[in-house]
Amino acid sequence: MTANSSELEKESNPSIVSISELSRHVGEAVTLRGWLYNKRSSGKLHFLEVRDGSGICQCVVFKGGVSPELFEAVGHVQQETSLEVTGTVAEHGKLKGTFELQATNVRVINAVSREYPISPKEHGTDFLMDHRHLWLRSKRQHAIVRVRHAIIKAVRDFFDGRDFTLVDAPIFTPNACEGTSNLFETDYHGDPAYLTQSGQLYMEAGAAAFGKAYCFGPTFRAEKSKTRRHLAEFWMVEPEVAFMDLDGDMKLAEEFLAFIVGRVLETRREELKVLERDTTVLERSVPPFPRITYAEAIKILQENGHPEAKIGDDFGGDEETVISNKFDRPVIVHRYPLDLKAFYFAKDATDPKLALNMDVLAPEGYGEIIGGGQREDSLERLEAAIDAHKLPREAFEWYLDLRRYGSFPHAGFGLGIERSVAWICGLPHVRETIPFPRMLNRLAP
Ligand code: 4AD
Ligand code: MG
């Protein structure tokens, strides 16, 4: 039953196929390579569920169809053993569109050296997170990663299809973008450097160079709180557009989010089914999204169990949940008090206490998944804001150049991939939305 790799290479017949291709080989003899996911036996039959990354296939080993030694040996193969199964492809008797293998041979590539720690029984979250490198093999995690992949592909297709230029932002940065309270500081050849919180400031340079620019990469926040929405390392896509105002920004954000959701519904139905996702809200998430001001959001809070809410309060997860629950699709909240926001926002001309910013809150209690707005384009006002936020002026000199040399109105936003995956998949926590999450108390595996 064992084989070394040179033996495997020599065997060219029958052809090696992946499980996702089985429908094209009905009636043919083929070989699958993968891992044992599950096994059932009943007297004359072994049912091996084999997974190969592209899918899971039931391989039926009939006592009369193989040698007695092989039948006996197959009965002892353990979960996650790597193996090769040869047999004839047949459509499942009852499940149309599902294909199985009538096995004629089974070869173990490598047996497990210990019992696989993740069994079909329930495990605690910490245990599963400690075994994340193995947990990724399970059906639900597999489905989530595939939805994430579809979202990321849609992100790129959307901007590439609208003539945006990809402008990669750096990871090591000399200055903060989103406040100094959650910066990861590192030693950069003797000088302090920060892991990027956002590529935005660089995208503003990109917008001046290319008109429409975007970056997509990992960003870092030393979040001190444990919540279901915060990671220390998360992926963000950030478009920035020259001569676009806040209204244009809101329109771009809603078209973008609807595009992503539409793509997942189009290409990842099977995975959403595995996740038991009710897709009705996703299907409804088409533009226009309702738009409310921050002041209107405060009113919603006051009328819905938060009588203490008042102008000037920032929203946490609870408040966002109450607000977003009032709407049947994502809602855009705009014009927050300037004091609550980062230094770079433009002021509303009709009320200079308000920022020309917007957040998109996902429904079903998920809250903010997009944050952005129109940027301050006056050199003097931007200098004053940097001082007011007690940020070191020298570190921002390069950024101020963007206002010195042909300043221009512009706007953009950032969408967090993990919060989007959480909402679209209907997951209770962001820890399952990224293959290897980094959180307050987790750096491994
Ligand atoms: O609202 P944020 O902080 O905005 C910015 O960083 C802007 N500079 C973006 C821009 O305008 N170019 O973050 C944007 C999004 C949030 O809406 C959220 O989806 C995600 O990034 N995000 C996080 N996701 C997971 N864990 C965290 N700790 C996150 N912090 C922000
Ligand atoms: Mg935000």
- For residues 7 and 73, the model is more confident at 73
Q: Is there a contact between 382 and 344 (Cβ–Cβ < 8 Å)? A: yes
372 touches ligand 1 (CB under 6 Å):
yes
d(CA 444, CA 418): 18
The predicted pLDDT at position 13 comes to 76
Distance CA 445, CA 436 (A): 7
Contact criterion met (CB below 8 Å) for 14 and 28? yes
Average pLDDT over residues 196-220: 98
Q: pLDDT digit string (tens) for 137-189? A: 999 999 999 999 999 999 999 999 999 999 999 999 998 889 888 999 999 99
pLDDT greater than 50 at residue 295:
yes
Q: What is the mean pLDDT of residues 42-65?
A: 96
HSE (side-chain half, CA atoms, 13 Å) at 184: 17
Which residues are 292's β-sheet partners? 333
Q: Which atom of ligand 1 is nearest to the CA of 359?
A: 17
Element spanning 39, H or E: strand 29-42
Q: Reply yes or no on whether the pLDDT at 6 is more than 80.
A: no
Q: Which domains, and CATH codes, for the chain?
A: 15-110 (2.40.50.140), 129-432 (3.30.930.10)
Which atom of ligand 1 is found nearest the CA of 234?
25
* Ligand 1 atom nearest to 369, measured from its CA: 19
What is the pLDDT averaged over residues 376-390?
Answer: 97
Residue 266 Cα, ligand 1 centroid: separation in angstroms? 27
pTM equals: 0.95
Best residue among 148, 221, 236, 423 to mutate for probing ligand 1's pocket (most ligand atoms within 8 Å of CB) is 236
Nearest to 300 by CA among 330, 325, 279: 325
| DSSP calls for 356-395 | SEEEEEETTTTEEEEEEEEBP--HHHHHHHHHHTT--GGG
Question: For residue 414, which ligand has an atom nearest its CA?
Answer: 1
368-378: pLDDT as tens digits = 999 999 999 99
Check pLDDT > 80 for residue 94. yes
Q: Which residues of 214-250 are buried (b: 16+ CB within 10 A; e: fewer)?
A: bbbeebbbebeeeeebbbbbbbbbbbbbbebebeebb
Cα gap 311→328, rounded to integer Å:
25
Give the strand pairing for 99-110 and 56-62: parallel
**Alpha-carbon span 75 to 77, nearest angstrom:** 6
CB of residue 357 inside a 6 A radius of ligand 1: no
Q: Which pLDDT score is estimated for 435?
A: 98
Question: Greater confidence, 269 or 2?
Answer: 269
